[in-house]
Structure formats: C-alpha cells, structure tokens
Structure 1
Amino acid sequence: MAAIDRLFASVFLSLVLVAVPAAAAQRVVPQSQAQIKLSFAPVVRETAPAVVNIYAQRTVQQPVSPMFDDPFFKRFFGDAFGGGITRERRQQSLGSGVIVDPHGLIVTNRHVINGADAIRVVLGDRRELDAKVMLSDERTDLAVLKVDDGGKPLPYLQTSPSDELQVGDLVLAIGNPFGVGQTVTSGIVSALARTGIGASDYRSFIQTDAAINPGNSGGALVSLDGKLVGINSAIYTKTGGSVGIGFAIPSEMVDTVIQAALHGGQIERPWIGFHSQEVTSELARGFGLDAPRGVLVTDVYPGSPPANAGLKRGDVIEAMDGREVDDPEALAFRVATRPIGSRAEFEILRDGHQLTLRWPMEKAPENPPRHETVLSGRHPLAGTKVVNLSPAVAEELGIRKWHGVALIAIARNSPARRYGFEPGDVLISVNGQRIESVDGLDRLLSNQDRWSLVISRNGEQRRLEIVG
C-alpha cells in the first residue's frame, strides 16, 4: 500500500504543476524517486491476478457444402439433393473474467459463455480449471461462474460503487484482447451513465478511452485504489478494433448479479410501475426548466407502489436516491440495482413545485396468469405462441403495454411468419373486437375469410388487412 500512496502523491504533484498558470509554470527536474518512476505497476500487481482468461467451447452445426443450401438447387431437387445435411464443428470463443470471491466466484459477460458445452478458466499463474455456470442473465449480459481450486483461496477484487467515479478519473482495463495474453491498458472515464448503447437491457454504462478489443469482454475496469468499478462489455467500432470508445457495466449491476448467484441463482428485479419518456427542450420550456432534465411520467399502473405513493401522469422525476436521472434507461438501471423490499426516494417536479415521494421496491405482479397458448386452425396467426400480458410479462419482454395478448414465438413455416408478425407484437383487436385475453382467441380467428388485425409493435399501432 505504501507504493500506491507514493503513486497518488506523485499524481497529485503532477496535477498541481499542471494547474499552475502558464506564465508561472516552470519545467523542473523530478525531485524524488517516486516522481521519476511514476507507474501504475503497484495497482496492476495487486489486481491483475484476479483477472482470468475464459475459453468457452460449443458444438455448432454447419452445412457440409454451401451448394446444398443454394436456392437454385433446392428449387429443382428439394431437400433430397442434400439440403439440411450438416456436420458438427467445435467452436471456441475467448473472453475474460474477474474473480470476485476467494472461493472461486467469477463474473464475466454472458455472451462470452452463452451456449458453451465446456468452459475452462486460466488463472494468472497459468493453472487451468473447469468452470460451471451459476447464473446467466441475458438482460444484463452478465454471467457468474464457479471454479473449485480445492479450497485454496484465490486472489479476488472487491467492488467499489461506480457512482463515486467522476469524468476524468484514471482507470485501468485488464483482459485478454485477441488471445495474446493478459494485457493492461489505461485511460480516463469519458462519460458516466451512458445510455442507448444496446449492449444490454439496462443501458447505463461507464464509457472509457482505455483500449478495449475483442477478448477484453468480461474483464475488469479498475480504479486506482485497486477496486472493481465495472466489467468491460462492449466497444464502439466499425473495424473490430479499439478506437478509444469502450463501455463497461457498472459495479452496482455487477453486485446485483453476484448476490443473485449467491442466493439461488434467480434475479428478482423491482418493478418500475410506470412509463416515462425523456424531457426534450420543448417540454423543458413548458415545465419552466432552465434546461432539459429528468424523465416525464406518461402513465402509471393503477395500484402499483408508485401510484399508491402519489405519483401522477405529468410528473417529472429529476432524481432517484439523490442521483440525477436524465432518461428512462438511466432510471431503469437505478431501479434494477435496488433490492426487493427496500424503499427508494424520488425527487419530483409537479406544477412548478418540488416534492419527494418514497415507495417500496416490489416485483411486478403476474395478473392475469400468462396462460401460454399455441394457436392453431386456419387463420393468419396459426402456429403462434401467445400469452396474456401482465406487468410481469411486459417486464420480461420489454413491452410498453400492460394489458392484452402478446406474441412470444412464431413457428418457422407458419402463416404468421409469412404475414410478417414478430415476437413481441401485441394483438389489440380482431375485426373490430378488442382482445383482452387468449381465452377464445382461436375461436374468434377461425371460420373467417377476412381478418382486420390491429397490433402494437415498439409502441406504434399497425393495421393489417388479410384475405383468406
């Protein structure tokens, strides 16, 4: 720790010198050994052993010859010509992971190990261990693995709240880019709570300019006090290489997934209970704000915790638990990192007045029951799996509606696929009759020769006129 203290002292001295006005600044010879050997080596020495390489093997099916899948040959010879003939091939993907517990708990990205038949973890001392998956969560793109080293404690990293980071802070990215071996890069925090990236459902990322390349996925983003502040997850690039824009999943979400893995492997997420949108410049002027900020509540589910606490349509949520929120994705991230049963505090702007509301974090209710059904018969939706919408199902599917019938799967050669229906569509009405549940839907669709269907897709309503 003394080495780290000297490092901070030398960094502080350097910053002080930079802050001196140009007229007064002078070039000076380094005055101490610490200044001469300014280095991140002490931090790397403490943290790098906890970052591991992950090799995931999976079996994939590939055509024996691309010619067999050529539409020209299929047209004349059909599948008998050899279409559909495949052979198994072993495919290996490479990534990184971080040991977060001395007993062998490892966090990585889900896409690193997804679909793997076997997972091998290579430790910093080059030992290889088999790993099993304790939790794999698609919505956060995080996974938790477990390795057994015979009871011997492993080096690990403690997490530190990413909320304590500031733009401009120095950070280190540790991983195994391109499979060349463990590599350390440095950079600064370029932005916080960066949303709209699309790498996971909870899009609130730490952006850094530390070089991150393929193979870094699942590696550690480390602060200069040797704590884990994020899991490197994605890069912004058109070439496949680093261009100085990398994204890491904040440690708050990592902690949530770790706790779920330690307590049964099931993630229970709090329910937001309302819909919202970003406050635009035009809306900000209407609310009397000096600049756009917060999120505008557009709908509140009756009987939900926010509704019971007094939240109303038209309220502007400016902060949660003392942290500003600037868009619905940032708010969803804040809610998702709170444990079930805790109470959150929201700062609200209503009719020009500030107020504070508090409500408990609860699971989304599954009411009505989903009643999963596969539709059959002679109609456009034959071969489609549908469910009753409820707040719980809407949360799972990322649908901005709480009622109706949702399409969750469509058979490959079904009429629904030919007509362009997609999983996630919500059926609103059939021939002018509003659809409230899956009960009787087959009967309503059958024995018709024309169908006028209204669906909701990505928040927009569409009408389809189909003649049988």
Structure 2
Amino acid sequence: MANLPEQKSSRARRLTAALAALSSVSALSLAALVAEPVAMHTTTGTGSTVRAATNAVQPPSAAEPGDFADIVARVKPAVISVRVELDGAQQQASSDEDDGTPDPDAGQGVMMGEGSGFFISADGYAVTNNHVVDHAKTLEVMTSDGRSYDATVVGTDPKTDLALIKVDGRDLPHVRFADRRPRVGNWVIAIGNPYGLGGTVTAGIVSAEGRDIGAGPYDDFIQIDAPINRGNSGGPAFDVNGDVIGVNTAIFSPSGGSVGIGFDIPADTAKAVIAELKDKGHVTRGWLGIKEQQVTADIAEGLGLKEAKGALVDEADPAGPAGRAGIRSGDLIIALDGATINDPRELAQRVGAMAPGTSVTVSILRNGAPKDLSFSLATMPEESPAPVETASDASAAPTSEQGFGLLLAPATKVAGSGGKGMVVVAINPKGAAAQHGLEAGDVILDVGGKAVSSARDFRRDLASLRKEGRAAALLRIQSGDTTRFVALPLGHA
C-alpha cells in the first residue's frame, strides 16, 4: 500500500486539532458536551401521549438490517440540538472540574454547553437530560433544518437525569416512545449533536439491559454499542420502527470518545417521569424512610443466610413510615407485597415507582425469624446534606484487637464521636478489618446485633458468635453521618 503524503491540508490540520481537543475527557464521561463535571448519570421517564412524525415503515428482517435511510429521514426532523449558557455557579464548577474550554462562538467569560433532545409533541414539548439544562441561564434549541427556538425548562428530575423543556411552536415533527423494551441484539439508531456536530446518525445493537453504573438508586440502563459521544446526552435511540427505546445519557470511555459502551434511560422509565414533569413540574416518589445496603456473601454468612439476597436495613428513620411501623436496623427486607426483593436497587426502584400514600406489606427477617409489617408510604423528602461528625484522637489508652488489626477506644472517651460504641482510632492497613472496609474514625455500634461500649463487650460478643458456629461477625458501623454493616471473618481473630 502506498504511503500517504506527510503534508496535510490546512483544513485537515484544523479539523484534526479541533477533534483532538474535544476528545480530552475523563474515563467515565457524560455524553453531553457541556461545561460541567464529567461523570456517569441516571434517569427515569414519562407517560405523555405522543405520535410518530409520519407513518411507521416496515422494519428490516432481524437477520439483515438493510437500509436505515427511510427511518432516519422520518425521525431526524424531531431531533434537536440543545444549546445552553451556564450561570455563574456552574461556570465556576466547570472551570474547576472540567477542561473549561469555552464555546468558540461565545463571548469572553461566557461558558456554553451543548446537548441533544427530541420533540414528543406537535406543540413543542421536548425531552433531554437534566445534566444538559442544569444551571442553564438561557436555553436555545435548533432543529435539523436550521430553525432556532428559545426554550424554557418545564421540570427536571435529577434522580433520573431527565428534563422536560418547551418551545413555542405548532405542527412540529415529533416521535413517540416504544411500547416495550428492546431485546439484547436488536438494532438501535442514535441521533444527536456530538461535539456540536448536529444531526449525526450512528447505528448498532442493544448490548445489555438492566445496567447499574453507580449513578443512583434507580439505575436500570440499556447498554448500546451505537457510537455516542459528548453532546449526544438527551438525544434519542430508536428501534427499527422509528420509536424511541431510550434516552442517551452516559458513556464509558478511557479516552473521552466512544468505545462502543453507551447507556440509555429506558423508554418506559422516561415516559413515567416526563408525564409527571409535564403535570407537576417535579416528580414525587414513595418513601420508606430507611437506608439499606447490599447483602454480600460475608454479610449473609454473618446473618446465617444460605443466599446473599435482600436489602439489609442500616438505619430506619423513627419518624419515617417504616420506622413507625417497627422496622429497625439489622432487619433484612426480603419481599414487598409478596414479591421477592433481591437487592436494595430493586427495592428502591419498586418503592420509587409507587405513589405516596400507597399501602404496602414489607416482609422481613429479624434474627432469622420472618415477620410482615403493613403501612403506607410517605412522600420522599427533598435531599439535604446532614452535618458530618468525625471521631478525633482518643483521650484514653485504646485497646488493641490484633486479630482484626484494630485499635479501639470507647466512644465516651473520644471527642465528637457521639458517645456510643467503640471508635477505631488506628487500623493496620494489611489487617482483616481494613481489607473489609473499616477506616480510622469509624465507630463500631454493635456486634451481631448487640450494642458494644467496651472492649469486654466486643470480645464477649465475638466469643458468643463463635460458639454459635458463625463464620463471620456482623458489625454495624457508623462512618460520619451514615451507618452500614460490615462482616468480619471470625477465622482471622
């Protein structure tokens, strides 16, 4: 093969340089080209009644994708580019946490961001991501034929990273959400505004479903391999019928560009959220009033369980519905309304999908005994950060628990610890406790369900668990303003 000339045209050099600058983002990237922290995000959706822009075409055969041109020609007019001017607070955050590259068309000192979206009604309602419009000072959308509209935010849902925006318009082309989730292996077409290149079309397949990317309690992403990049956030992913199967939201990338791992908010989630945003401007969710954690194999061993399933209650707000009904720390939630709960994410999704005031029956295991509790869900409160207290150095000689690699002191002897439990004042980084997530400053509140306030209590409870034949000790730990459970293998002590 002949070698290409070493000298490039000036236009090619400019394009190469521009794309290289744009591709400098972190390994876990939002698909939006916005001046904000780069991270994974999540969302849920709407129930608005929408119609396809034109009659559906017959899908290609499953074995042969054929030509996507007819589908693209039909749905592309409904896809929009979303352009925002960020307010001062977000500009500062962007300059601190992102590459801070201003839009070349923007005035000096003005930070712009770009994303994607799509119309779902003829009168101008459109879907995008919350992270695209968050902290927007002004909002403008552009259609594929070059028309520009000023837009307003109708409502946002940060927990699912969805937003509903509105322009003044009539007879606008629009698309509808699919009625069912796609299957792994189905064809998918993504259209959006990557790197400001509006109207970009890519295609691939559904790679996986039910993905949890750590963005929040409602993670349930569709994974696709149709290339999406920064600027695609909020745009649609279509099936071969031209229906929206998901909202492009996040990518995984070690380079900043697409490596074929993108994540979409499912259409059914988006429909439910968008319907509520259109109706009320915000989303209300059912609330149990508990904090829970995953049951690991070690924790299951500590609880005497055969399977690592369920949601282990770390804390129950005494003023919350679950706490008032009698649920308490250490209870294991195994079912909701008779349906098995496999993990905390499943519990959060099912409760979050219920309206406040809904009556539920929660099945728990307490000290190995089953129990059913019935009560009504409350409304999830607005999140507000709680003050964090951390333990300081001990004012009395601590006790060494060498088998676990711990140095403990009674909380009553440690300033700022709240006076309950045993404070970890030092830890061996190679010891069993450190390997299982304990850190200096953590407070051990109880061992095997029994409160501890001295080294004698700690050792007594461990001995009792060994006598019962337990392979692990379940410790309830306070770290700052949160609590969690940690299972330490008793063979190490």
Q: Smaller-chain TM-score range?
A: 0.5 to 0.7
Shift of 1:121: 0.7
Q: Write the letter of the residue equivalent to 1:144.
A: L
Given the alignment, which residue of 143, 151, 159 partners 1:139?
A: 159
Shift of 1:144: 1.6
Corresponding residue for 1:44?
Answer: 72
Corresponding residue for 2:266?
Answer: 250
Q: Contact 1:96–1:108 at 8 Å: present in 2 too?
A: yes
Output one character per residue of 1:311-368: Cα deviation in whole Å (capped at 9) or x when no partner.
675334357796x75432343233323333445676767888999876544214xxxx
Alignment of 1:288-327 (within 5 A): 288-289=306-307, 292-302=308-318, 304-306=320-322, 313-317=330-334, 326-327=342-343
Given the alignment, which residue of 223, 227, 245 partners 2:243?
A: 227
Alignment of 1:40-439 (within 5 A): 40-58=68-86, 89-149=109-169, 152-160=170-178, 164-198=181-215, 200=216, 202-284=218-300, 286-289=304-307, 292-302=308-318, 304-306=320-322, 313-317=330-334, 326-343=342-359, 360-364=376-380, 392=381, 396-397=383-384, 406=387
Shift of 1:458: 6.2
Q: Partners in 1 of 2:78 and 2:144 — Cα distance?
A: 7
Unaligned runs of 5+ in 1: 15-34, 67-86, 365-391, 400-404, 409-427, 436-451, 462-468
Q: Partners in 2 of 1:346 and 1:161 — Cα distance?
A: 30
* Counterpart secondary structure, 1:178: helix
Q: Contact 1:319–1:348 at 8 Å: present in 2 too?
A: no
Q: Write the letter of the residue equivalent to 2:166.
A: K
Unaligned runs of 5+ in 2: 1-51, 96-106, 390-410, 420-440, 444-477, 485-493
Q: Partners in 2 of 1:348 and 1:191 — Cα distance?
A: 32
Q: Write the letter of the residue equivalent to 1:327.
A: D
Bigger mean CA offset, 352-361 vs 221-230: 352-361
Structure of greater relative contact order (alpha carbons < 8 Å, 6+ residues apart): 2
Output one character per residue of 1:254-303: Cα deviation in whole Å (capped at 9) or x when no partner.
234323332332332221322222122344563223xx444334444446
Q: Partners in 2 of 1:330 and 1:113 — Cα distance?
A: 29
Aligned sequence identity (%): 35
Output one character per residue of 1:116-147: Cα deviation in whole Å (capped at 9) or x when no partner.
22211112332111101122333332222110
TM-score by length of 2: 0.57
Q: How many pairs are equivalent?
A: 338
Q: Contact 2:190–2:236 at 8 Å: present in 1 too?
A: yes
* Counterpart secondary structure, 1:217: coil
Output one character per residue of 1:54-88: Cα deviation in whole Å (capped at 9) or x when no partner.
1112365999xx9xxxxxxxxxxxxxxxxxxxx96
Corresponding residue for 2:480?
Answer: 457
TM-score by length of 1: 0.60
* Counterpart secondary structure, 1:263: helix
Q: Structure 1 201/294 Cα, relative in aligned 2: closer, same or farther at 3 Å?
A: closer
Q: Partners in 1 of 2:254 and 2:335 — Cα distance?
A: 35
Q: Contact 2:336–2:360 at 8 Å: present in 1 too?
A: no
Q: Write the letter of the residue equivalent to 1:362.
A: A
Bigger mean CA offset, 186-195 vs 127-136: 186-195
Corresponding residue for 1:26?
Answer: none
Q: Structure 1 431/315 Cα, relative in aligned 2: closer, same or farther at 3 Å?
A: closer
* Counterpart secondary structure, 1:258: helix
Q: Contact 1:113–1:119 at 8 Å: present in 2 too?
A: yes
Corresponding residue for 1:444?
Answer: none
Q: Write the letter of the residue equivalent to 1:272.
A: L
Shift of 1:453: 13
Q: Write the letter of the residue equivalent to 1:406.
A: P
Q: Partners in 2 of 1:201 and 1:148 — Cα distance?
A: 35
Q: Contact 1:340–1:361 at 8 Å: present in 2 too?
A: yes
Q: Structure 1 41/277 Cα, relative in aligned 2: closer, same or farther at 3 Å?
A: same
Q: Contact 2:333–2:362 at 8 Å: present in 1 too?
A: no
Shift of 1:182: 1.2
Q: Structure 1 185/293 Cα, relative in aligned 2: closer, same or farther at 3 Å?
A: farther
Q: Partners in 1 of 2:132 and 2:370 — Cα distance?
A: 45
Output one character per residue of 1:12-41: Cα deviation in whole Å (capped at 9) or x when no partner.
xx3xxxxxxxxxxxxxxxxxxxx6x82334
Q: Write the letter of the residue equivalent to 1:121.
A: V
Q: Partners in 2 of 1:316 and 1:252 — Cα distance?
A: 26
Q: Structure 1 304/201 Cα, relative in aligned 2: closer, same or farther at 3 Å?
A: closer
Q: Partners in 2 of 1:39 and 1:321 — Cα distance?
A: 47
Q: Contact 1:279–1:295 at 8 Å: present in 2 too?
A: yes
Q: Partners in 2 of 1:330 and 1:272 — Cα distance?
A: 13
Corresponding residue for 1:18?
Answer: none
Q: Structure 1 319/265 Cα, relative in aligned 2: closer, same or farther at 3 Å?
A: same
Bigger mean CA offset, 327-336 vs 240-249: 327-336
Q: Contact 2:291–2:315 at 8 Å: present in 1 too?
A: yes
Q: Structure 1 121/456 Cα, relative in aligned 2: closer, same or farther at 3 Å?
A: same
Q: Partners in 2 of 1:321 and 1:211 — Cα distance?
A: 41
